[in-house]
Structure 1
Amino acid sequence: MWNKTSAAKKLGIEYPILQGPFGGNLSSVKLVSTVSNLGGLGGYGAYTSTPHEISELFRQIKASTTKPYNINLWVSDSDAVDGTITDEHFNRVKQLFRPYFEEIDAELPVKPVPFKARFENQLEVILHEKPPVFSFVFGIPSQDVLEQCRRLGIITAGAATTLDEAIALDAAGVDMIIASGFEAGGHRPSFLASAESSVTGTFVLIQLIKEKVKAPVIAAGGIANGKGIAAAFKLGADAVQIGTAFLATDESNAPAIHREMLFSDAAKTTTLSRAFTGRLGRGIANRVTNEMLHQEINFLPFPLQSHFTSHLRKAAIEKQRWDLIYLWSGQIAPILKHRSASNLMKSLIGETNQYF
């Protein structure tokens, strides 16, 4: 059977189908439990959560499912030196974005306070609560942390956007490697080279990694149906991670307009941009991403750019100006069919069965 892979066995799940762990408050306990209860691995992106919020998250997930699940964090959660930027840099960004704020009568934000990295404090909760699976992006935790995970029985999975990143994760002893192709929606989690230079496609990346790495490979990016799952497995993947298709379901915490746009003609055109967060990510192309091409040098470093544009986002939502809001989406969105996570999961399993 196609589902009896080494990854499925190690993860303790019936079907090697992982739900992408969305950050930015787009994940939900309901989606996690739905996927896990149907034999897959639900995932929750908690990189913006406080340690207290993560503790509460564990309580809610445990009350919703007895099956394995995944909690995801960002190893590197800031690109700002000392967590801040100069007044000159901030004023430059204000002038660049001023026309958008003025167009919708929104007040320009003040300079954000210095950002303090949260990863170490979040890790303490992970090690205390011991989730079945701990996945991470934008780097590799220290050897001490990985060893603690091994002792505690926590399975680790790290994201790689290049072969070199996969080799580094494997050398560190990470249990599984998520091959994150450039087709995927959301941030590009590159950590050894620039995200702009780390744009290998999923189905090439699977093959490259399988040639050099022994750890099970999880294919992520450009997969939304049984045909995609079968193709990934034929190329050597041991599991798949599906993001956009699950993000579009009613069980996700994405706003209604975001979910609706994923089923619209607008989703035919996605782009990679740093304009809204300061880190490169794929979403539905809009007016801002088009007009801000080649302005990357002027953007604030992550997450200060996110803080700045969050004010524009809030005002744009109130005015229903969707052309000023960046909605995460992978390139596969135009083939999406399911608005129910349960129906999507059952379809993925049924369709994949037809190919094996």
Structure 2
Amino acid sequence: MAFLEIDGLKKRFGNVEILKGIDVELEKGGFLVLVGPSGCGKSTLLNTIAGLENITEGEIRVDGKAINDLHPSKRDIAMVFQSYALYPNMTVAGNIAFGMEMRGVPADERQKAIDKVAKTLQIGHLLQRKPSQLSGGQRQRVAMGRALVRDPKLFLFDEPLSNLDAKLRSELRVEIKLLHRRLQNTMIYVTHDQIEAMTLADRIAVMKGGAIQQLDAPQTIYNRPVNRFVAGFLGSPAMNFLKGELEADDAPVFRADGISVPLGRYAFDGDNGRAARPCIFGIRPEHIALGDAAKAMPFTAESTVEIVDPMGSDTLVWTKLGGQIVSFRVEADKTLSNGDAIRIGFDPARASLFDAQTDSRL
């Protein structure tokens, strides 16, 4: 039995169905990240787990017990919001202790809990400050401390880092990951940032239009996306997509304008995936090799540099393949210019094929 179980969860606002039959299982101590574009239902799902929204159909169970009808205060769930939600008239210590005070926890126990959390989050020197005297990152640490001090069964994070700058987001992302490793609490984290999803999660649920498209380990989702949406959503820069035809015979081949890619090492999802049809060939930029490295690949082609885009640690190069624009990564010290003749190559075993009509993986 999983620690968190969500079965057939639906949520409607009037006649509009926001969540369309969500099924999730998460083991105790797991870290699940809900990721997807704005409006896909991530935060609504989180709010139904917390009890801030009632569900229309389905059931939510924590540690084997249904919590659908429990008041939020009875669910033993702590939530960290995007907006921090700190009381401006209270000190940091007061904000962290407020929930315990409302529950009648004795003062000496409250102080011990505050000291422990402050040490964990490295905010001991801030305990007597007001929220207005804190930076964004410090405020978010306080919001996390207020959740941690309760030692709940389940932690929920609703885009907690989205208001911070890139450097601070990166630093706090590491802190959250280390915090989870130390505490081994069960956590669910909502974000639209794919980097947060890939680095924090041991399970990712990719959502679109109120439904989960794929729920799996990060590397499985990255390397074997179940459809074109998942493939295009995760990865920066995004996966390259080439429109063409799958020609099925004893040796399946993908054909586009001027190229033929042998698919001998490609792992089709079932024999029916080999049937001839229009399809989309997907290959990630980091899986395309250049020059001598390309010559050793099962597929190679000559092309011309269209755009060179320095990224600092590496360089993104744009070229044409099969009459369509694709990008690939090279080392930052590789010197390339617009118009250079190049040879690129890749292993089709690293590719993804999708049906052109259904967008499902072949």
Scaled by the length of structure 1, what TM-score is found?
0.26
Higher Rg: 2
Higher share of residues assigned strand: 2
Higher share of residues assigned helix: 1
